[in-house]
Amino acid sequence: MPIISVWKRIGETPLQAMDRARKEYGITDEPASFTGRLDPMAQGIQISLFGKDVNLRDQYNSCRKTYRFTAILGIGTTSYDPLGDITDMVEITHDQALRFHRGMLAIHGKIMQAFPACSAFRYKGRPLWWHALHGSLPKPMPIKEREVFSVKELSTPINLPISTYRRTAIDDIKEVHQCNEGKFNCLPVISMWRSLKKDTTIWRAQYEVTVSSGTYVRSLVHNLGVELGVPAHAMRITRLKVGSP
């Protein structure tokens, strides 16, 4: 039975991407498992295992991974990506954008990273996103050591009107809504993005990062923003490579 590398689309859950691979390859009754969970707003390579190869799940989950992503400076969200509620919106100066850029390129080595409140990490038998909805998140949040092997610049920060970015953000959120038949709370988020003042500007920069298994790319963006006093979130996170087990 093949080990299938499927391109998970924006809007799909990992399970939906794996089921699509099952149908495309005509795999019916074999046990199956996906590896390396990608959020619905993310896209990219997902390794799906079938038959006896499901035993390789832990090996693939532990691989280092490479991502391309865009950092949006000036807006913070609860999910650290466009799907969450907007928490902060600030006009960012060019100097602040450059400090963020230099800070991102300087991230290297082992770091301690808290799990995002909207993640699937399980606490007391429930994912953190469930606890976020029910007001029972742990304090402090659980943390784990991760490692950043490299960060490459793909583009320096550029200043854009919110309308330019908003179209892309809303299109991606609509994909999540359509793929999941309204199970995600997307419509209020779309309305929130549409309500932002047209004269607002944001800064956008793009990077490629190689990290250890389990690293949250969106947290790298959010946490650096918090450190520098710059509201920030990640969008269009794209997994480019999964290392060999």
CATH code (residue 113): 3.30.2350.10
Number of domains in the chain: 2
At 110, list the tokens: 């082992």
Which pLDDT does position 143 carry in this prediction? 94
**Residue range(s) defining the domain that contains residue 32:** 4-61
pLDDT, tens only, 60-98: 999 999 999 999 999 999 999 999 999 999 999 999 999
Backbone angles phi, psi at 233, to 5 degrees: -145, 170
CB distance 71 to 219 below 8 Å:
no
User: CA-to-CA distance for 198 and 212, rounded, in angstroms?
Assistant: 39
Q: At what angle do helices 186-194 and 162-179 cross, to 10 degrees?
A: 170
User: CA-to-CA distance for 9 and 106, rounded, in angstroms?
Assistant: 30
Is 104 in the same domain as 31?
Answer: no
Most confidently modeled range among 50-59, 60-69, 236-245: 60-69
Is 38 in the same domain as 138?
Answer: no
Is 70 in the same domain as 57?
Answer: no
Is 10 in the same domain as 35?
Answer: yes
User: CA-to-CA distance for 77 and 222, rounded, in angstroms?
Assistant: 9
**Residue whose structure tokens are 């080990």:** 3
pLDDT, tens only, 124-174: 999 888 888 889 999 999 999 999 999 999 999 999 999 999 999 999 999
| Distance set, CA 214 to CA 64, 81, 145 (Å) | 9, 17, 9
Is 46 in the same domain as 77?
Answer: no
pLDDT, tens only, 138-151: 999 999 999 999 99
Is 123 in the same domain as 187?
Answer: yes
Q: Which of 23, 46, 61 is the last residue of a domain?
A: 61
- Please count the other Cβ atoms lying within 10 Å of the Cβ belonging to residue 200: 16
Q: Which of 35, 61, 87 is the last residue of a domain?
A: 61
Sign of CA dihedral 57, 61, 64, 70: positive
| Maximum Cα–Cα distance across the chain | 57
Is 84 in the same domain as 203?
Answer: yes
Kindly report the average pLDDT of the chain as a whole number: 93
- Please count the other Cβ atoms lying within 10 Å of the Cβ belonging to residue 2: 12
Is 124 in the same domain as 192?
Answer: yes
**Residue whose structure tokens are 């650290």:** 80
Is 19 in the same domain as 103?
Answer: no
CB distance 73 to 234 below 8 Å:
no
Q: Which of 61, 77, 96 is the last residue of a domain?
A: 61
User: CA-to-CA distance for 162 and 197, rounded, in angstroms?
Assistant: 8
pTM of this prediction exceeds 0.75: yes
Is 8 in the same domain as 113?
Answer: no
Indicate whether 245 pLDDT > 70. Answer: no
Is 135 in the same domain as 48?
Answer: no
Is 57 in the same domain as 76?
Answer: no
